[in-house]
Structure 1
Amino acid sequence: MVEQGFPPVTLIIPNYNGAHLLRRNLPFVMAAAAAYPGACPIVVVDDGSGDGSAEMLRGEFPSIRVVAHKANRGFAEAIRSGVDAAESEFLIFLNSDVRPREDFIAPLIRHLARADVFSVSPLVLDEDGRVNPVSWRCFRIRRGRLRSVRWRFDDLNPEVPTESLFASGGSVALRKSMFEALGGFLPLYKPFYSEDFDLGLRAWKRGWRTLLEPASRVMHERKGSISENVAARRVGKTRVRNRFLLEWTHMPGRDLALYLMPGYLLQLIGRLARLDLLYVEGFLAALRRLPEALRVRAEIRRHQVLDFWRIVDSVEQSFKSRI
């Protein structure tokens, strides 16, 4: 039981052509695992890398378990393989470009003792030590789009956790049983981006909360494996496409009709006027996945106990109560 001490935790790291990142950051991950009082194995899922990552791991980090895909399958399936390999109920996902502090594990795991907590985010720092906005997430509709609520770390009590809309998939602790009940990261967003936002919303809609724990801290490098391995245009198009899919999957129908769809039209006109075809291509790519998004939307509604704006209000009130 969690209350009796420090439960086993499995650290899962997806990797694609990130041998240099693993060499740089794995020593910090291993130090954190060694400092944690409970069992803490590390699993690296090599997602079809062509840079010899798997061989490097087996040679230079023999204590780490390597799960290797013969071909690249994408972030969601790499995580899925890591979850399948994990024997513990409590998991931590870390990207290969994330460097945790030695004491980051225990503050995250202690919250998972509560039955209504699905995931916990550490405080994410940039390379210069500044707090990254991805640490705490909340969104409101502004200017015809769903946009992130701005915040400052100075406004948050650093000693007290607060609710968050979702945790970044690059550094999050969660329960395996809940992750599996939700079906994990959805293929709708394959190959990357917005899977973590969607997962957090699906959990919240079942009444399972996400928290930010400022006592746990990690550093995230500015340039990660996606930007190094995928063409910038594809990255941009995928980001645009998946944000549309996320909104179509989760936003209330009234808000879609009254605010977001008119906003889409205005932005499409504006982008076309500036010959910004990437945005238009992303929108058209999202339309091709609309039937799948509607199926996911219907499935979410079958299990929903909290609506979107009630969740957002709860997150904002939690943050404000800790100022």
Structure 2
Amino acid sequence: MDKPGFPPVGVIIPNFNGVHLLRRNLPFVITAAAAYPGACSIIVVDDGSGDGSAEMLRAEFPSVRVVSHETNRGFAEAIHSGVEAAEAEFLIFLNSDVRPHEDFMAPLIRHLEKTDVFSVSPLVLDEDGRVNPVSWRCYRMKRGRLRALRWNSDDLKSTVPKESLFASGGSVALRKSMFMALGGYLPLYKPFYSEDFDLGLRAWKRGWRTLLEPASRVVHERKGSISENVAADRVRKTRVRNRFLLEWTHMPGKDLMLFLVPGYLSQFIRRLLRLDVVYVKGFFAALRRLPEALRIRAEIRKHQVLDFWRIIDSIETNFKSNTDG
């Protein structure tokens, strides 16, 4: 029987040619769903797989709901199809290469009942048990680029949840209504990468926080479905392109002109000298989408209540606080 005080949860897993990942990791998701004190449903969105994923799911995991795309549409649209199909307000997105601990759900969901919390990240572990840096995100300007602050598990000197800039799209709990209000993942970043970074920033700018909950844990495999199904050059080009687009969309204009543009020029020259063709292609691919990025930038400003550096200062200060009270 479901316990009162634990709202229904929908787990959404996007899949593309990941039949072996689903067979390996889905049993852990089912165990965690059964351990959650409230109702929990699992939806796998098969994004045009050609490896028999959908057929395997229906035969071997009949309790899991399958939503199928006839053709591959990319990560964002797979998630959107799952969100549309889900009935619960509280959702958890899990990649097929993520293996959750049995008790990971409840610690995430308890935060979502706070009206200013948009999303919550579990502590992400590597297969050898080490804490993965994707668990907590914060950035500062260094050497002309926006760079992630380094940290390790020793920095979590208490079990108190910490504010984070965004949660990895591969393991995150969030509110469906807020996700929909933000417009979900933006097509600017299709087919993959940086959607979660952008989403977290757009939420923060509206005053909606993201948290890291150390009491919730998942294991992320080193090699996932993107690296197995997409050519390495295309993956890197997309990463480069989307990082430029993210900065052009979100960074304050003063920082773009004083720090990032000179940094771009310096790095571009170095990459040219090294004959880094993939980087150059990624930069020009971003330039082609600049008008769309600027349009989105203007739209974000209409709803913005917090500026970029105020958000960063809040997250860094909160992380350095070691009190348990």
TM-score between the two structures when normalised by the length of structure 2: 0.98
What is the percentage of aligned positions where both structures have the same residue? 82
Q: Is the 8 A contact 1:137 1:148 kept in 2?
A: yes
Cα deviation for residue 322 of structure 1 reads 2.3
2:230 aligned with 1:213, yes or no?
A: no
Following TM superposition, the consecutive aligned residue runs of length 4 or more in structure 1 with deviations greater than 3 angstroms are: none
Gaps of 5+ in 1: none
Cα distance in 1 for residues equivalent to 2:274 and 2:164: 36
- Tell me what 2:80 maps to: 80
Cα distance in 1 for residues equivalent to 2:113 and 2:157: 22
The residue type paired with residue 27 of structure 2 is: P
Q: Structure 1 stretch 154-163 or stretch 198-207: which is displaced more?
A: 154-163
Cα distance in 2 for residues equivalent to 1:155 and 1:231: 36
Gaps of 5+ in 2: none
Cα deviation for residue 139 of structure 1 reads 0.5
- Tell me what 2:310 maps to: 310
2:29 aligned with 1:29, yes or no?
A: yes
Cα deviation for residue 155 of structure 1 reads 1.4
Cα deviation for residue 8 of structure 1 reads 0.1
The residue type paired with residue 50 of structure 1 is: G
Cα distance in 2 for residues equivalent to 1:210 and 1:32: 22
Equivalences, count = 321
Cα distance in 2 for residues equivalent to 1:277 and 1:207: 40
Q: Is the 8 A contact 2:125 2:220 kept in 1?
A: yes
Residue-by-residue CA offset, 1:7-50 (whole Å, 9 max, x unaligned): 00000000000000000000000000000010000000000000
- Tell me what 2:272 maps to: 272
Cα distance in 2 for residues equivalent to 1:4 and 1:319: 32
2:255 aligned with 1:255, yes or no?
A: yes
- Tell me what 2:125 maps to: 125
Cα deviation for residue 156 of structure 1 reads 1.1
User: What's the Cα RMSD here?
Assistant: 0.9
Cα deviation for residue 292 of structure 1 reads 0.5
2:284 aligned with 1:281, yes or no?
A: no
Q: Is the 8 A contact 2:4 2:38 kept in 1?
A: no
Cα distance in 1 for residues equivalent to 2:152 and 2:68: 40
- Tell me what 1:167 maps to: 167
Cα deviation for residue 157 of structure 1 reads 2.8
Cα deviation for residue 4 of structure 1 reads 5.0
Cα distance in 1 for residues equivalent to 2:78 and 2:48: 10
Q: Is the 8 A contact 1:17 1:229 kept in 2?
A: yes
2:186 aligned with 1:191, yes or no?
A: no
The residue type paired with residue 204 of structure 2 is: W
Cα distance in 2 for residues equivalent to 1:4 and 1:100: 23
- Tell me what 1:225 maps to: 225
- Tell me what 1:179 maps to: 179
Cα distance in 1 for residues equivalent to 2:322 and 2:75: 34
Residue-by-residue CA offset, 1:274-296 (whole Å, 9 max, x unaligned): 11111111000000000100010
Cα distance in 2 for residues equivalent to 1:42 and 1:4: 20
Q: Is the 8 A contact 1:162 1:322 kept in 2?
A: no
The residue type paired with residue 154 of structure 2 is: D
- Tell me what 2:111 maps to: 111
What SS is found at the alignment partner of 2:40? Answer: coil
Cα distance in 1 for residues equivalent to 2:112 and 2:16: 29
TM-score between the two structures when normalised by the length of structure 1: 0.98
Cα distance in 1 for residues equivalent to 2:310 and 2:153: 24
What SS is found at the alignment partner of 1:202? Answer: helix
Q: Is the 8 A contact 1:158 1:215 kept in 2?
A: no
What SS is found at the alignment partner of 1:11? Answer: strand
Cα deviation for residue 113 of structure 1 reads 1.0
